[in-house]
């Protein structure tokens, strides 16, 4: 319920803010991006994984050289983590997460509408971490004696991100490249699961998500 409340507040704020501006134009955009996801943490040995982002956005003139962008995207991405299998051999396991992102961005026009810098907050609502191979759920996570791959799937479902990037193109087509970094603890929920009862080292989890994305937007 708390997650739904935050989503509702964010959507209402975005809609009211956007409609209060005297816009000279409004464009609805259909976008797709290739994504590289990483979990920055000292608790686990992780590697960058890939995925995609797709969704709708609206861009409108805000004031002077600024545009306002808001929208909702669907995201699916994966990340790797080092573990040991049942024979104590090093193995990488792959986790996948899906979810949605709500964005509210300011876009500064450097070269009219053909080159812009974009920045602002992102609210990400994501699923649990799903093992791509369920046969790996009993693998022991590197750095621990008994913490298993299945024990850390319930991470935080709500994450705040800060986005920065740029777009370049013409009126109807733009290429975009962006970087997002999580300002909330993506592993906070693990601290409430009493995982130290399974492994004494399983405490003080902290991690921040990061996303590198690049793609294209078609404006209708």
Residue 23's pLDDT band, with cuts at 50, 70 and 90, is: very low
Overall size of the chain counted in residues:
220
Give the tens place of pLDDT for each residue, 37-77: 999 999 999 999 999 999 999 998 888 889 999 999 999 99
By C-alpha distance, which of 94, 93, 162, 92 is closest to 124?
Answer: 162
Confidence (pTM) = 0.85
Domain ranges of the chain: 2-219
CATH T-level topology, domain 2-219: Porin (2.40.160)
Residue 26's pLDDT band, with cuts at 50, 70 and 90, is: confident
Residue 17's pLDDT band, with cuts at 50, 70 and 90, is: low
By C-alpha distance, which of 38, 57, 56 is closest to 46?
Answer: 38
By C-alpha distance, which of 73, 39, 35, 32 is closest to 51?
Answer: 35
Helix (H, G, I), strand (E, B) or coil at 8: helix
By C-alpha distance, which of 122, 159, 108 is closest to 14?
Answer: 122
Tell me the percentage of the chain whose pLDDT exceeds 90: 80
- How many Cβ atoms sit within 10 Å of the Cβ of residue 86? 10
Q: Across the chain, what does the average pLDDT equal? A: 89
């Amino acid at each position: 319920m708390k997650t739904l409340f935050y989503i509702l507040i964010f959507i209402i704020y975005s809609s009211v803010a956007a409609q209060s501006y005297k816009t000279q134009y409004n464009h609805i955009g259909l976008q797709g991006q290739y994504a590289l996801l990483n979990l920055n943490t000292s608790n686990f040995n992780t590697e960058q994984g890939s995925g995609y982002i797709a969704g709708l956005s609206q861009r409108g003139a805000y004031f002077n050289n600024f545009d306002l962008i808001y929208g909702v995207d669907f995201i699916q991405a994966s990340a790797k983590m080092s573990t040991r299998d049942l024979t104590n051999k090093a193995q990488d396991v792959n986790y996948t997460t899906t979810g949605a992102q709500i964005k509210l961005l300011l876009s500064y026009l450097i070269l009219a509408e053909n080159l812009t810098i974009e920045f602002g907050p992102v609210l990400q609502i994501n699923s649990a971490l799903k093992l791509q191979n369920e046969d790996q759920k009993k693998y022991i996570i590197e750095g621990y004696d008994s913490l298993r791959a299945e024990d850390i799937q319930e991470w935080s479902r709500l994450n705040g991100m800060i986005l920065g990037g740029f777009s370049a193109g013409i009126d109807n087509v733009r290429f975009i490249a962006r970087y997002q970094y999580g300002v909330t603890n993506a592993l906070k929920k693990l601290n409430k699961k009493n995982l130290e009862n399974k492994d004494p080292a399983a405490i003080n989890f902290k991690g921040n998500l990061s996303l590198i994305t690049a793609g294209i937007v078609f404006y209708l």
